[in-house]
Amino acid sequence: MKLQQQRAFTLIELLVVIAVMGILAGLLLPALSKAKDSAKKKTAKAEMTSLVAAINQFAADYNRMPASKKAEESAAQNTLCPDFTYGTTGVAGGPYPSITTYGNSIHQAPNSEVLAVLRGHNLAPNPTLKQISQSRNPRDITYFHAKVAASTGPGIDNDGVLRDPWGSPYIVSLDLNDDNRTADGLYSPMRKDQADPAIKAQAVVWSFGPDRTANPDPAIGPRGVGNKDNILSWD
């Protein structure tokens, strides 16, 4: 009985198969990248919502914002804006612009001060932040939980800075004059349809988004060129 001979792929057929697989992979990669980016945006939005909720809960418990005494003094002496923005001062690892408080502030800091107060004494990464946490949150209540970041990746880094899914620090602005309106150190106004530069809230948080930068031109606004990918807690 004669055995049936198995037919092998020719070189041309193999190359065709490889080419088809390459085309399919090329079509799938953009979709996968878009889905991954969308997931990161949802994560950032959820983290900002949780952070604002933690700030509001702290304010309800202590009848003050989770700001350091220096931040409060800075805001009190600021003639341009009585609120305080925790920006990018002293934060390394990205192309994001320098974001500070309004006017000639006597104090600048990243969001690590807020996070130290909201997370409690034992989680503060250094003596300075531990002291701030102890003085502002004497009951040592943990209001906010976050994963520990690897180097300058997403989460809480070694300096206590909370970073978004792209590794940039979240920008946090607090209402320090108790008028339930918060202005930000970069955006003014904070909405295209709003002449008032402030937002009706005790706190606002935003992320640089995928491009890790923001356009500080006040004529551009949060949704202008260079800012369309930024993620805002007040949207």
Asked if the model's pLDDT at residue 3 lies above 60, the reply is no
Mean pLDDT, rounded, for 47-63: 97
Determine the Cα–Cα distance for residues 55 and 125; give it in Å rounded to an integer: 20
pLDDT of the residue at 4: 54
pLDDT of the residue at 26: 78
Return the percentage of the chain with pLDDT > 70, whole number: 92
pLDDT of the residue at 138: 97
The pTM assigned to this predicted structure is 0.85
Secondary element (H or E) of residue 205:
strand 203-207
Mean pLDDT, rounded, for 159-185: 94
Mean pLDDT, rounded, for 1-12: 61
Asked if the model's pLDDT at residue 193 lies above 80, the reply is no
Question: Cα separations (Å) of 7 from 4, 12, 15?
Answer: 9, 14, 17
| Amino acid occupying residue 18 | I
Asked if the model's pLDDT at residue 180 lies above 60, the reply is yes
pLDDT of the residue at 33: 67
pLDDT of the residue at 11: 76
Q: Are strands 171-174 and 84-86 parallel, antiparallel or unpaired?
A: antiparallel
pLDDT in tens, 143-169: 999 888 877 789 999 999 999 999 999
- According to DSSP, the residues that pair with 86 across neighbouring strands are 172
